[in-house]
Amino acid sequence: MKFFERRHVFPHDWETCTSAWWAKYPNPDQPHVKRINTVYRNIDKENQVLRVRRIFALDYQIPELVQKLLPKMQGYAMEDTTVDLKNKKLTAVGHNCSFSKICRSREVITYEQDPDDPSKTIYTQRMSYSISGLGTVFGRRLEKAATDFSAKKAQAGEAVMSKRIDSLAATDWR
C-alpha cells in the first residue's frame, strides 16, 4: 500500500472554502468527473452535523503504465461527507467502487478552520492505493505510479479550489 499526503492553508474563512468545495464539480479543469448524484442526506440539528453520501461517475484518469494495458476506464466512486458546523470541520472520505478487486483507492480530505487564525482554512488530503492480484513487484510499481499520478492531480484540484474560493469570495454570497 502506498500513501501520499498534502496540506495547504487557504487564505479564506472556513465557510467560504467549504461552500466553494460543494461547487467544485463540474469544472473544465477536471473533466474526468462526469456526474455526481447525492444518494443520502441527514441533518442532525441538535449536534449541527450534516452527513451526505454521493456517487461519482468518472472517466478514470490512469497512469501511463496502466493505459498501455487497459483502454479508457469508466467507473464509479463513493464519497461520505460529514460537516460539523460547531467545530467548523468538513471531512470527506472517498473510495473507488469500480475495479476495487484489483485496485483500491481511498481519499480522506478535511477542511478545518485554522485555530490560530479564523480567517484561514487548513486543507489536508491523504490518498492511499493498494493493488492486488498482479504480483508483488508489478503491484508495487502500479501503486507508486498511482500515488505519483495522484500527487500531480492534487495540484490541479487545489488550483480549481483556489479559483472557486476566490470567485465566491469576490461576491457578496452570504
Q: What is the pTM of this model?
A: 0.86
Q: What total number of domains does the chain contain?
A: 1
Q: Which domain holds residue 157?
A: 2-169
pLDDT of residue 167: 92
116 in any annotated domain = yes
Cell of 162: 483556489
pLDDT at residue 164 tops 80 = yes
User: Is 67 within 8 Å of 38 (Cβ atoms)?
Assistant: no
pLDDT in tens, 91-105: 999 998 877 677 778
pLDDT in tens, 110-150: 999 999 999 999 999 998 877 766 666 666 776 676 677 67
Residue 106 to residue 75: CA distance in whole angstroms:
15
What residues contact residue 25 under an 8 Å CB cut-off, 6+ apart? 33, 36
Supply the CATH number for residue 115's domain.
Answer: 3.30.530.20
Alpha-helical regions (H) of 23-111: 64-67
| Percent above pLDDT 70 for the chain | 82
Residue 8 to residue 158: CA distance in whole angstroms:
8
96 in any annotated domain = yes
pLDDT of residue 138: 63
Instruction: Say which DSSP state 72 is in.
Output: -
174 in any annotated domain = no
Share the mean pLDDT of the chain: 86
